[in-house]
Structure 1
Amino acid sequence: MPHEPGWFDEVLDWLGDNLPDILSFTAGLIGVVALLLSGPLGWGIATVAALMLTASGLSATALVLRLSDPETRASLRDGFTKGEFDADFWSNAVSVGADLAGALPGLGAVVKGGIEATDAVRTGAQTLGFWEKAATYGSKSMDEAERIVALENGFVARAVRGFNNPEKAAKVVVAASGLTGVATGGVGLYSKAVDADDDGIKDGAVAGIDGSRLILDSGGIIGLVRHVF
């Protein structure tokens, strides 16, 4: 008789099928934790930067997994080349865009930190061993991560400049955006876990909410690109 898959096999299959969404959700959750640590809890910027790098790594992995899916690529390609801007296209576009936005801070820190580390290694008076070079690259990337964490979101800063405490208001807006992303990601995962009809959830309201968050986050991305390049 054929082997019937048990609950453990089903769980593994579900995790494999939804791994990009799980990684995105986890990255968003870590991002919110980083915001809380840098705000009300007042933890050091080095801890926040380390969390940012971790979240960016998860987002980058999710992005690669999504783009390696032939169905996702076909949906995006048909949207841009054939004008098929259906619900499936927007859902995939928002998911890919969110993962890209999440991966950019860590990528920026590694790129600029790597450039600075290369200059330091080349101009060093003594020949460095492998581990010393690796430590230099890691240290410079961490320094850049701390600088990137300290960057402000230009769009948010302009939006709240009329408030009595613009800095505090900006942190509230960014934190609310992060919490919204975690909530919408959780709704999408829950709908898949209970086999709900995802078309009317993630492809509709959730994609719309996350799309608006991408517009808000783009202000921070612009500042990041200017900082790196």
Structure 2
Amino acid sequence: MLMNYNNTMDSVLTLAHELGHAINSYYTNKTQKYINSNVPIFTAEVASTTNELLMINYLLKKAKSDDERLYLLNTLVENIRGTVYTQVMYAEFEKEIHERVEKGEALSAETLCNIWGNLMKKYYGDNFEVDKLATLWWARIPHFYMNFYVYKYATSMAAANEVVKNIEKGNTAKYIEFLKAGSSDYPINVLKKAGVDMTSTKPVDNLLTYFGQLVDEMEKILKKQGKI
């Protein structure tokens, strides 16, 4: 692992995230033959996000004040928003530009900016100001060069949330087997064996419910502090 660490919360969570990838690779390489040692992006992001969620859940349990807990809750809420909500918007952008090309339409920077601006209004509502510079956001996303990479972040976080719930109930054996699986089976099947059914809406529904609970708790603390 190569990373810059500066003792901030972001560094702690990044380290946890990258360690998730590391242990996934370790278990897979130790268990699988070379032909199955590659970890698909779908399941790789489950492993890293699981580790990150476990870390922030641990920190939440150890929070010593309302302010500390509020900070951690906000970090988790922003993490879910950025990983699920925003990445789904990215995926819709990618879907739309592919569809336009398939219809024989040309894409220009102006067209891409208009598509992006309209999606920002759709996802964030009329109260969110979309200035001209914000419509250029698509230009800084390297993932768009890898077809539909972005949606995997959203689905992987939904799956990771289910895995974390199982781990916190003491069901760790299935997760260890998941980490060993590599590409020995399709990602959907590997996750099913780990107790997560991504062919149903349950993982996404549960994550969005959890998101709502986190926002409600933030509101409760802010009201207690007289800030809202």
- Structure ranking higher in helix proportion: 1
